Amino acid sequence: MDSWNEKCAIVGVFNSNRSAALCYYSLFAMQHRGQESSGISTSNGYDITTLKGEGLVTSVFKYGLEKLVGDASIGHNRYSTAGEDSKCDVQPIFARYSLGQIALAHNGNLVNAEEVRDRLISQGAIFQSHLDTENLIHLIAQSKATKLRDRIIESLSCIKGAYSFVFLSRGKLFAIRDPYGFRPLSLGEINNEDGSKAYIVASETCAFDLINARYIRDINPGEMLIFSHENGVCSYESIQVFKAEPKKCIFEFIYFARPDSFVFNKCVYEIRKNMGIELAKEYKIKADLVIPVPDSGVISAIGYSQESGIPFEFGIVRNHYIGRTFIEPTQSSRELKVRLKLNPIKELIKDKDIIVIDDSIVRGTTSKQIIRILRKAGAKKIHLIIASPQTISPCYYGVDTPDISHLISATKSIEEVRDFINADSLHFLSLDGLYRSIGDEAKDGEGYCKACFDKQYII
Ligand code: SF4
Q: What is the pTM of this model?
A: 0.93
For 83-137, what is each residue's pLDDT tens digit?
A: 455 788 899 999 999 999 999 999 998 999 999 999 999 999 999 888 889 999 9
Higher pLDDT, 157 or 403: 157
Burial class of residue 242 (count of CB atoms within 10 Å of its CB; 0-12, 13-18, 19+): middle
Q: Is the pLDDT of residue 350 over 70?
A: yes
Atom of ligand 1 nearest to the CA of 183: 5
Cα separation of 199 and 167, whole Å? 14
Kindly state whether residues 306 and 211 are assigned to the same domain: no
Within a domain: residue 119?
yes
Q: Is there a contact between 105 and 83 (Cβ–Cβ < 8 Å)?
A: no
Residues 440 and 370 in one domain: yes
What CATH code is carried by the domain that includes residue 127? 3.60.20.10
With a 6 Å cutoff on the Cβ, whether 254 touches ligand 1 is no
pLDDT in tens, 405-415: 889 999 999 99
Q: Is residue 370 part of a domain?
A: yes
For residue 82, what pLDDT is reported?
A: 43
Mean pLDDT of 263-274: 96
User: Based on the domain organization, do 21 and 104 belong to the same domain?
Assistant: yes
Domain identity same for 64 and 135: yes
Q: What is the pLDDT of residues 219-234, one digit of tens each?
A: 999 999 999 998 888 9
What separation in Å is there between the alpha carbon of 328 and the centre of ligand 1? Answer: 33
Report whether the peptide linkage leading into residue 209 is cis, meaning its omega lies within 30 degrees of zero.
no
Say yes or no: CB of residue 449 within 6 Å of ligand 1: yes
* Binding site membership of 395 for ligand 1 (Cβ less than 6 Å): yes
Whether residue 173 sits in one domain with residue 215:
yes
The verdict on the CB of residue 451 being under 6 Å from ligand 1 is yes
Q: Is the minimum distance from the CB of 452 to ligand 1 under 6 angstroms?
A: yes
Distance from the alpha carbon of residue 455 to the mean position of ligand 1, in angstroms: 10
| Strand pairing category for 197-202 and 223-228 | unpaired
In whole numbers, what is the pLDDT of the chain averaged over residues?
Answer: 92
Backbone phi, psi, residue 46, to 5°? -120, -40
255 in a structural domain: no
Active site residues: 8
Question: Cα of 395 to ligand 1 centre, how many Å?
Answer: 5
Over residues 237-261, the mean pLDDT reads 93
Q: What is the per-residue DSSP string for 282-309?
A: H-----SEEEE-TTTTHHHHHHHHHHH-
Q: How far is the CA of 397 from the centre of ligand 1 (A)?
A: 6
183-208 in b/e burial notation, b at 16+ Cβ within 10 A? bbbbbbbbeeeeeeebbbbbbbbbbb
DSSP string, 388-451: S----S---SSEE---GGG-HHHHS-HHHHHHHHT-SEEEE--HHHHHHHH-GGGGGGTTEE-H
DSSP string, 188-203: EEEE-TTS-EEEEEES
Tally of CB atoms within 10 A around 277: 20
With the most atoms of ligand 1 within 8 angstroms of its CB, the residue from 5, 6, 79, 250 to mutate is 250
Q: How many domains does the chain have?
A: 2
